[in-house]
Amino acid sequence: MAIYCSRQLLSRLLCTVTLNAPASTMSIRPLEGIKVVELAGLAPVPFCGLVLADFGAQVTVIKKGGDELLEQRMTRGKTQKIVDLKSQSGLREVREMCGASDVLLDPYRPGVLEKMGLNPVHLIKVRSFHQP
């Protein structure tokens, strides 16, 4: 699992998120306005996206399809989009979504996205990030 974002955004997150208050009782959502693209995968990435959504981030899950019970629990507060990552049009759609987002949650082993034609570092550099 990897999380890709800019240094400016990372410093903003570290300065504003207080983890000792439960997200459900927070009146201020410190990640409001942050856009996250989550590539669907195993438990660590969906859980990370769930926490970011609870703190106010706008999380979009890109998945292949299918609807499992665990998957439904981990998508609370998230937008879901079905995309074929093996097609050129699907890859183009992911690039466009990343270009309009602040954070990319990558569930794959190192090098997998690059083999698919999606360089995560390049995807994040495309975005002009919010300044703190």
In a domain, 24, yes or no: no
In a domain, 100, yes or no: yes
What is the average pLDDT value for the chain, to the nearest integer? 79
User: What are the two backbone dihedrals, phi and then psi, of residue 62, each rounded to the nearest 5 degrees?
Assistant: -100, 120
In a domain, 75, yes or no: yes
pLDDT band at 18 (very low <50, low <70, confident <90, very high): very low
In a domain, 20, yes or no: no
- The CATH number of whichever domain residue 64 belongs to comes to 3.40.50.10540
Contacts of 16 (CB under 8 A, 6+ apart): 30, 31
Q: How many CB atoms lie within 10 A of CB 128?
A: 8
Domain span at 79: 2-15+30-125
Q: What is the pTM of this model?
A: 0.75
pLDDT in tens, 55-74: 999 999 998 766 555 566 77
pLDDT in tens, 74-118: 778 899 999 998 899 999 999 999 988 889 999 999 999 999 999
Domain count, the chain: 1
Q: How many CB atoms lie within 10 A of CB 132?
A: 10
Write the Ramachandran bin of 111: left for phi over 0, alpha for psi from -120 to 50, otherwise beta. left
More confident residue, 63 or 124: 63
In a domain, 10, yes or no: yes
Which three-class secondary structure state does DSSP give residue 78?
A: strand
CA distance 42 to 57: 20
In a domain, 37, yes or no: yes
Buried b (16+ CB within 10 A) or exposed e, 101-117: bbbbbbbbeeeebeeee
CA distance 84 to 35: 21
In a domain, 53, yes or no: yes
Closest CA to 109 of 42, 20, 27: 42
